Amino acid sequence: MMVRYGYILYIAVMGCWLVGLLRRVVLVWLARRRRGYVQACYRRVVRQLMVLLLEERVPEEIALPIGRLPRWREALVDMLCRIGTAVYALPMTTWRGVVCRYGLERWLLGRIRRTRGVRRAGYLKQLADLPMSRTIAAEVVRYRADKCQQVRFCALLVGLVAEPAELLRLVATYEARLTMSEAAEVLHLLRRRLVPIAYRPLLESPYANLRCVGLAIVAQFGIEEAEDALLTMVAGEDAELARRALWVLVVLRAPLRHRAVRQCVRCFSPQERQRWMRYLAGEGYAMGQVRWLFGEEVYYGALIGSYKRSLVCG
Amino acid sequence: MARILILSSDVVRTELVRAVLMGLQAEVRVAEDLAAFYRLTEQLVYEVVLVVGVWPFCCGAEVLRRVRPRPLRRPEVYLLSWHQAEQTVLGMLECGVDQYMTFPLNPGRLRAKVIGVLER
C-alpha cells in the first residue's frame, strides 16, 4: 500500500515537473517568435519612414504600418530621433507631418509630466531631437528650474532647438557650468542645425559656458590656431576652465613648455598629477615634457614603458 | 548588375543607408555581423562596401584584407561613423578605407559618391 502511494506520488511529481518544463519551452519559443515578428515590423516601419523622408512626401500621404508594434509611439519617437540625429537637412514638412500625424509631441509632453529625474530628462532629450512647435517649447520652460541637473540641461536643449537665434544668449545665461559632455551635446546640435559659429569670440567671451562650447569646438575640430587663446585661458583665474583648456591643448598635441601650463600643473593635487601623467603618456608625450612640468621621472618612465606606442610629442 | 554590401549592426542606420541607395542599378546586401560579412564576401565580389561604425576595425585591417583578396577587383570601401577625432580618421584611412564620412550624413552626397563609383 505504502509502495503504491509512493509510486503515485513519484509519478505526480515527475508529471508536474514535465508540465513545467514544457510550459517553459513553449513560452521561450513564443517569445522568440514574437521578438522576430516585432523586429520585422520595426524594420518595415523604419524603411517606410526613410522612404517618406527621402522622397519628401506631403503629410497627407503619410501612413505607416505602425499599429502592430507594441508601444508603437515609443518606437516611432525612437526611430525619428535616431534618423534625425544621423541625417542632415531632412525635409521639415514631412518630418513635422509624421510628428503631428501621430500626436508624438503631446504624447512626449504627457510622459515628461508624469515622470521624474533621469527618465524625464530622456523624454526631454527626445523632444529636443524632434522638430517641434514654439508652443510645445514654451510648455517645457518650467523644467529649466527642475531639481535634477540632467532635466535642466535637456530643457535647455529644447529651448535651443526651438530658438536657434537665441542660442548664445541661452547658453551664456544657463546657471550651471556646462560639463564637457554637455558642451559636446550643444556642439552636436550646432552641427545638425547647420548654425555657423566662430570659435574665437566664444573663447574670449566673458561667459564661462560659452567658453566651454568654444573649447569643445576647438577640441573636436583640432583647431591648432586656437593655441594662443587656450594658453590665455590656462593662465586665467578660473581653475576649472584652465584645466579644460589644458586638456584641449593635449588633445591638439601642442607643446606644453609654457610658464602658464607649468604654474597650472603645480597646483594639482598628487592624485591629479598621477592622472595627468597617465593621460600624457597615453597621448604620447615624451619624458622631457613631463620632467619640465612635474619634475618627476620614475613614475612617468614606468608609464611610458607600459604604453606600447611610439612617442610623438617631444 | 553591380553589388553593394552594407556592414552594420544597427537596424535604423542599415535602413537609412539602404533607403539612400534605393533606385540604383545595384543589388544591395546587408551583413549584421562579421561572420555574415565574411561569408558574403567569400561568395560574391562587390563594387562598393559600406561599413557603418568603426567596430569591425577593432582587430585592425583584417576586415579589408578579407574584402580585397588578390587578384580580384578591389571594391571601394566607405566608412560611416560618428568618430571625428583626427587620429581615428587617419587610422582608418591608413587601414585602407577609401572614404571616411561622419554622421550626420548628407544622403544626397552619399548617393552621389556611390553612383560615381558604379558608373566608373
Q: How high does pLDDT run on average in chain A?
A: 84
CA distance B44 to chain A (A): 25
pLDDT: is A26 or A65 the higher one?
A: A26
- Domain ranges in chain A? 46-54+73-81+94-145, 163-256, 268-314
Contacts of B15 in chain A (CB under 8 A): 43, 46-47, 50
Has residue B86 got a pLDDT over 80?
no
| Cβ contact, residue pair A46, B11, below 8 Å | yes
Looking at residue B71, its pLDDT comes to: 64
Q: How far is the CA of B96 from the CAs of A119, B49, B57, B71, in angstroms?
A: 42, 12, 11, 17
Looking at residue A70, its pLDDT comes to: 76
Superfamily grouping for domain B2-118: Response regulator (3.40.50.2300)
Mean predicted confidence (pLDDT) in A258-283 = 82
Q: What is the ipTM of this complex?
A: 0.84
Mean predicted confidence (pLDDT) in A291-301 = 70
Contacts of A47 in chain B (CB under 8 A): 15, 18-19
Mean predicted confidence (pLDDT) in A29-50 = 85
Has residue B118 got a pLDDT over 90?
no
Contacts of B106 in chain A (CB under 8 A): 87-89
Looking at residue A221, its pLDDT comes to: 80
| Cβ contact, residue pair A46, B15, below 8 Å | yes
Q: Which of A108-112, A267-271, B52-56 is most confident?
A: A108-112
Looking at residue B63, its pLDDT comes to: 79
Percent of chain A surpassing pLDDT 90: 18
Contacts of B103 in chain A (CB under 8 A): 85-86
Helices (H) and strands (E) in chain B, counts: 5, 5
- Tell me the residues of A at the B interface, defined by beta carbons under 8 Å apart: 39, 42-43, 46-47, 50-51, 54, 79, 82-83, 85-89, 191-192, 220-222
Q: Which of A48-57, A63-72, A301-310 is most confident?
A: A48-57
Give me the residue from A46, A89, A191 closest to B12, CB to CB.
A46
